Each structure stands twice: as structure tokens, then as C-alpha cells.
Chain A
């Protein structure tokens, strides 16, 4: 109870406008419930209702932002207590929302990008017979994701965490009549489950060591916890982040998750859900700041994944899978940024927001291209689309410039800061991010060139056309965000001072000066882009993928053997174990049970012959028995 009181004292209780934050979760949840419970009766208007709920959530978020901007920076974090969830002795878990700069940033990203994707889906899913169900799931995802980022304790966060996992599963497998989609959904669910074990372990350790699971309580008590426990908690949280954010070694599900409808890939598997791991680490910064070993692990995982994702992205011919590799790589940047401590948190989150815009925009662009190309995803069958899909070309192009980090587009501001913070940590980490930026430039140029430049390599019956306005308008808005979002956040929003009260901020002092770093980054990016442009725009792209390629290309096409390793290390030993257990069960356990039953049966079939029906033989048995009893009694007495 004492701890509970302290936590409440640390953050002011919400009053006035901010106490309506619960609407953020309630509105989309109501949308999902009405659409799912209402069934076919809501078919006619259900999708509009879901879009309305999403937009209403966005309006609430904007109102909350204006309210927060009116307060002093120290008073911006508030807690909205809804009700007591668990109260056992001194252990309290409230259902309470924490509205501060960090959670509000996420809320704004989710509701703005999410609303745009809702609108886009009106066009994209127009002819799908399960359109109502799709929008219900999207609304449900909204509610779960907002629960995740608004919770004020790890247990409520876990509820949202599982909720987005469920939404992701349902939406990846939305076209479950395709076996590949059904399998991909299960794969994503299982990989996420491994990560969830980490989160639940972390929560249990916090409960055991600190006695509370609220963010404020854990942050306050973290300095009193011993180092190795903090490291363990940090590693468990990192495992959770790896599962949700598709980081090495749990990365393989994200590429298959592209089986879902493209708006889902844009919303869940690029802009919001997969970044939940970054949120988790930033939210737990009090633990990571005190556990340098865990931070090193975070940097390590982020660095590996950022290179892996980029390398996979270079070899994929499926436009969505190439984008998925890119998402992995960019989230690797963010994870690496959070591992750098106060130097990096702000910029990891900054990159997360700009990435949410430009990557969602590019996914929607990819969806638009697919829409015009008979749902083909093979980039070798695209080419020269810049003439027939002018809006898609421009919006995708702006996203492309943003992810490359060409000034003054969004990615330039956020990625450069991460690279700078990485050089602040060590030159080696900095070089990894720099190489990653070069590879990113190469594969994005390759994608851009194969899709929009070169010669048309279309299949015969394909007549590309621009998508309807419901699809292009969200793309345009996201493109504007990709172009100017970075500048707006940095110069108008002052992202460092905005987020500093929540996650802390520290200037990178060891890094080389911007005058050296910025030109070299741009140079490397331009080299990568030039190689990509020369190979895929100026030279002819062969339609069937070349077979005689280097071992590196083969490895990248196979996702750097992620699936093969999973199969060899986990699946086959697992199958072997289950087969052994089945063998043991059917032969040994069943053998003992069936054997003893058989033995008793044999004995009984012999023994029952004694029941022969002759009264005189029974009498003889009794006499012998009585004689024996007497004999025993006599023997006992004599001895």
C-alpha cells in the first residue's frame, strides 16, 4: 500500500481534459464490438463506422495534445485511474492510464497513421466479402495498441501487448483460405509467444523484487535492485522486444507476415505494432540505464538486425518482403538507439515516428501498385510505372527520399542523429549504422528503380492504372509527413525537450562533429543509391530471377537462413523430442498399464476355476483354512 501511494504521488492525477483519455481505448473497442456482435446487419455501414471511430480517436488525441501543450513540461505527465484491477495485500495493480509526452507521441502516431490507413482500406478492401470483419479487427487493433502505450503498469501493458498480438494474428491470416497466410499467421503468433515469455518473466521478477509493476514504482525502486537482477530484467524485456519488433533471433515471422492485406502490413507490421519493442525499452529506461550489460545486448541485437534486414532487403523480388526487410532494419536502428542510453532514446523515438510515416506511406504505395497490377508483388514484373501511376510514384518517391536520409526529408533528421549517437558510443557501432545506411540506400533504390523506372516488364493482361482517391489521399498525406515531418518535429516540436522529461536526454559529446559526419553519411548513401540506380534502372532487369548468383545473394534470398536455422535448432529437435515421447508413452507407459491389466486377467482366468459350484469343495477349503489358522495360532503361542 505504501508503494502504491508513492506512485500516485509521483505523477499528478488527471483532471480536466486529460481525464477523457480513456475514450482513446473505449471508442475503437466499441467500434470493434459493434461490428463483431452486430454481424451481417452492419455490413452496409460497418466500414464507415470503423473509420469514424478511428477519426474520433484521432480527434481525442489532438485535443489531449493541445491540452498538454498548455501545461508546464514538468506537469505534463498525468495518471488517469479508472479502477482497481488486482488488490491483494500490499500488491496493487490499478487499471490506470499514464498520459505523458512519450505515450501521447505514440497515441498521435497510431491514431493519425491508423486513421489514414482506415480510409485507405475503404478503397483497398472495397470488393472483399469480409470487409466488415477486416474493419472490426482494425478497430480492435487500435484499442489494443492504445492500451499498450497508455497503460501505467507492465501488467496492463501486457494486456495490450497480447491484444496487438491477437490482432496481428487475425489480420495476417485474414485471407486464411490461402494456406501460406494461415501458416504465416501461426508463425507470427508462435514467434511472438516466445517474446511474451520474456515479458512475463520480467513482470514476475519486478513483482518479486520490487513488489509493484507500475512504471513509476519500478523506476523509483530500480536503484535499490542489485545489478545482476537488473541485467536479467533488462534481458527479459529485450527478449520481449525481439519477439514483437521482429529482431534477431525472432525476426523470421515478419517477412511471412506480408501475407496479410497491405493496409495491415502498413499499419501493424511497419508503423505501429512492430515498434512496440522500442516503446517497451524506452519506457523501461530506468532499468536499462542502470544495467549497462543489458544495454550492450540491446545494441548488439539492434546492430545485427539492422544489417540482416538490410541485406535481406537487397535480394527480395517481392516488393512487400523487401519493405519488410527494410522495416526490420529500421527497427534495428531504433533498438540500437535505445541501447545507447539517454544519448539515444529521444532519437530512437524520433526515428520511430518519422519511420511510421514514411514506411506506412511506402507500404500504401506498394499496395497501390499491387492494386493496379492484378495483385502481383513481383518487382521483376513491374517497371516504368512512373508514367501510369503518377501519384503513387511521387508519394512513394518522397518516402524513398525520407528513408534514404536525403536532407531535408524526415529520415535525414532522425537517422543522422542515431548515427551520431552511435559514434558517441563507439566507432564500431557507428560504422555499423553507417554501413546500414549505405545498404538501405542500395535496396531502396533497387526497389524504386525496378518498380517505377526502366522498361515495362508487365504481364500481358495487366493495364496499370492509378488507384481511387480513398487510397491516394492517405498516401499524399503520409508523403507530406515523410517530407516535412522530420523538420516539423525537430524545429517546431522540439522533440528533445518534448521527450526529455520522460526518457531523459544527453547531448552526444564524444561523436565526431556534424561537419564530418553529415557529409560522410550522405556520401555513403549516395554511393549506395548510385550502385542501385546503375544496376536496376540503367541496365535491363531480367524477368526471371537470375540463377547463377553469388552465395551471398542466395543466402539473402533465403532470409539469411533464418527459417533454416529455426528448423534445425528448434523444429527438428522438437519433433524428435515429441516422437521420442510418443514412443515412450505408447511402448513403456502403455506397456506397463496394459501389461499389468493382462497379467491380472491371466491370473483371474486361472483362479476362477476354484469357483466350481460344489458346496463340498468349498467346505473342504474352509476346513483347510480353519486348520491353518489354528496351526498358526498354536505356533505363535508356542514360540
Chain B
């Protein structure tokens, strides 16, 4: 498979994720979309690493996974806590921290 396919797939996945984040109100879905964007970036990293014969991109992909895992732990815990207190998972409802 040529590089084009990987990059295209990565771009499509990233766009789906970005649109998901911007349009969906449910916090869990928005969260999933963020994960999808991260993985799209991972795919691009790995693909370019393979094409260039360089391990740096692969290493960065591992870092991204670690960060994503940590982020999931903290993010889900926050979503759970908010849901418990406000009985809602909509991110538009938690807009108290503003001007």
C-alpha cells in the first residue's frame, strides 16, 4: 500500500474526530472523538516512520498512547463526578467557569 492511503485514512479519521468534538454534546462521545483524533495522528506517525525507515515516529506513537491512557483515566473520572452531581453528561451544561 502506498503512503497516500495511510495519510488519507489518517486525515479522514482526524476529520471525523474533529467534527465529533465540535458537534456532539454528549461528553462521552466527544471524548471518544478526541481519542479518534489521537489515533489518527498515531497512524500518521507510524506510517511516516515506516516510510522513512526511522524509529522516532514509532516512539512518539507510544508516548501518545501513554498520554491518551492517562487522559482517559482523568477525563472519565471527571465525567463520572459531574454526572453524579448534575445528572447530565452534556458538556454544554458545564459552562459555569466563564467571564
Contacts and interface: CB of A to CB of B under 8 A. Distances in A.
Our verdict on whether A and B bind, yes or no, reads yes
A611 B25 CA distance: 18
Contact of A613 (B21, B25, B30, B97): B97
A615 B91 contact: yes
Interface string B39-71: 000000000000000000000000000000000
A623 B33 CA distance: 14
A608 B99 contact: yes
B1 interface: no
Interface string A587-615: 00000000000000000000011011111
Interface in A608-639: 608-609, 611-616, 619-620, 623
Given A619-B22, A620-B22, A623-B22, A613 B91 contact: no
A609 B97 CA distance: 12
Given A616-B23, A623-B22, 6 more contacts: A612-B98, A612-B99, A613-B94, A613-B97, A616-B21, A619-B21
Contacts of A612: 95, 98-99
Given A616-B91, A616-B92, A611 B22 contact: no
A614 B99 contact: no
Interface in B74-98: 91-92, 94-98
A623 B22 CA distance: 10
Nearest to A623: B18
Nearest to A615: B91
Nearest to A610: B99
Contacts of B95: 612-615
From DSSP, what is the main secondary structure of chain B's interface residues? Answer: loop
Contact of A611 (B21, B23, B94, B98): B98
Nearest to B92: A614
A609 B99 CA distance: 6
Contacts of B91: 614-616
A611 B99 contact: yes
A613 B91 CA distance: 10
22 contacts: A608-B99, A609-B99, A611-B98, A611-B99, A612-B95, A613-B94, A613-B95, A614-B91, A614-B92, A615-B30, A615-B91, A615-B94, A615-B95, A616-B21, A616-B23, A616-B25, A616-B30, A619-B21, A619-B22, A620-B22, A623-B18, A623-B22
Interface string A516-551: 000000000000000000000000000000000000
B82 to A, nearest CB: 12
B2 to A, nearest CB: 22
Contacts of A613: 94-99
Contacts of B98: 611-613
Interface in A4-44: none
Nearest to B96: A613
Nearest to A607: B99
A633 to B, nearest CB: 15
A129 B99 CA distance: 70
A611 B94 CA distance: 13
Interface in A176-201: none
A613 B90 CA distance: 13
B6 to A, nearest CB: 18
A606 to B, nearest CB: 11
A563 B22 CA distance: 83
Contacts of B25: 616
Nearest to B95: A613
Contacts of B94: 613, 615
A614 B18 CA distance: 16
A615 B30 CA distance: 10
Contacts of B92: 614, 616
A183 to B, nearest CB: 60
Nearest to B21: A619
B22 A616 contact: yes
A590 to B, nearest CB: 30
Contacts of A620: 22
A609 B21 CA distance: 22
The CB with the most chain A CB atoms within 10 A, among B22, B30, B99, is that of B99
A615 B96 CA distance: 11
Interface in B18-44: 18, 21-23, 25, 30
List 10 tightest A-B contacts by C-beta distance, closest first.
A613-B98, A613-B95, A608-B99, A611-B99, A615-B91, A614-B95, A619-B21, A612-B98, A611-B98, A613-B97
Contacts of A608: 99
A514 to B, nearest CB: 101
Contacts of A611: 98-99
A542 B94 CA distance: 100
Contacts of A615: 30, 91, 94-95
A618 to B, nearest CB: 10
B15 to A, nearest CB: 11
Nearest to A609: B99
A602 to B, nearest CB: 15
A609 B94 CA distance: 17
B52 to A, nearest CB: 17
Nearest to A616: B22
B65 to A, nearest CB: 21
Interface string A83-115: 000000000000000000000000000000000
A613 B18 CA distance: 19
B98 to A, nearest CB: 3
A233 B61 CA distance: 85
Contacts of B96: 613
Nearest to A612: B98
Contacts of A623: 18, 22
A612 to B, nearest CB: 5
A370 B70 CA distance: 101
Contacts of B99: 608-609, 611-613
Nearest to B97: A613
A313 B97 CA distance: 85
Contacts of A614: 91-92, 95
B57 to A, nearest CB: 18
A210 to B, nearest CB: 72
Contacts of A616: 21-23, 25, 30, 91-92
A616 B25 CA distance: 8
A609 B95 CA distance: 13
Contacts of B23: 616
A620 B30 CA distance: 13
A113 B21 CA distance: 102
B27 to A, nearest CB: 9
Nearest to A611: B99
